[in-house]
Amino acid sequence: EPEVTQTPSHQVTQMGQEVILRCVPISNHLYFYWYRQILGQKVEFLVSFYNNEISEKSEIFDDQFSVERPDGSNFTLKIRSTKLEDSAMYFCASLGGHTYNEQFFGPGTRLTVL
Amino acid sequence: QKEVEQNSGPLSVPEGAIASLNCTYSDRGSQSFFWYRQYSGKSPELIMFIYSNGDKEDGRFTAQLNKASQYVSLLIRDSQPSDSATYLCAATISNFGNEKLTFGTGTRLTIIP
């Protein structure tokens, strides 16, 4: 069964450093998303991406964040200068193909900012 | 602020009983509603979605939607210990699910053997 994959599973970084979180969506999907979940809190939408551009972004997705689909398979989230409050689980999701009602979530990347 | 509200629980239900999970939403423009299950440290996993008023059944799960009351629920029949998880309610303005999902905080469900 096709699945969304994410790497790394856990990333530890120092405050102020740049991180890139990587996702490989399901191959025939057209819509891509990043969500995050701070420990003990709800899943929050960050950004959606369709047709090689951002469709929508939340207030959380400020100038420190960017997304890219560099090669037609990977979908990346970059945080330019990490803050302590960026520590969270980051989930990539994709939608499309024959299952237009389901956003499939990847296993997540746990980001720890020290 | 467009919110999805859930009782955070924990909700404890004996094995074999019916678990009832509730959710309300504030955005009247919401069209589709999703129930996800999330095990600790794992990603959300879709159980089912509903977009029409009334009931929708899938195996042991029944979702109910009342758009007039802005209320969604999930019933789990014949609860099993493996159903112990956090259940997330999510809403979207899209009929197709391609717009962003707005999640509630989740209800933690424990099935007691």
At A45-91, the pLDDT tens digits run 999 999 899 999 999 999 999 999 988 789 999 999 999 999 999 99
- pLDDT tier at A21, thresholds 50, 70, 90: very high
Percent of chain A with pLDDT over 90: 83
Cβ-defined contact of A103 to B101 (cutoff 8 Å): yes
Residue A43 has pLDDT above 90, yes or no: yes
Please name the residue that has the structure tokens 């989230």: A77
Q: How far apart are CA B42 and CA B44, in angstroms?
A: 7
Residues 6+ apart with CB under 8 A from A85: A38, A113
- Cα–Cα dist B39/B92, whole Å: 22
Provide the residue type at B48 as one letter.
M
What integer pLDDT is reported at residue A70 of this predicted model? 85
Q: Which residue of A has its CA nearest to B87?
A: A42
The per-residue pLDDT string of chain B (113 residues; one tens digit each, 9 = 90 and over) reads 779 999 878 999 999 999 999 999 999 999 999 999 999 999 999 999 999 999 999 999 999 999 999 999 999 999 999 999 999 999 998 766 678 999 999 999 999 99
Q: If you search the block for the tokens 């720890």, which residue do you land on? A: A112
CA distances, B37 to each of A22, A52, A66, B21, B86 (Å):
24, 30, 29, 12, 6
Q: What is the pLDDT of residue A71?
A: 85
In a mutational test of the B interface, the residue from A5, A21, A32, A43 whose CB has the highest number of chain B CBs within 10 Å is A43
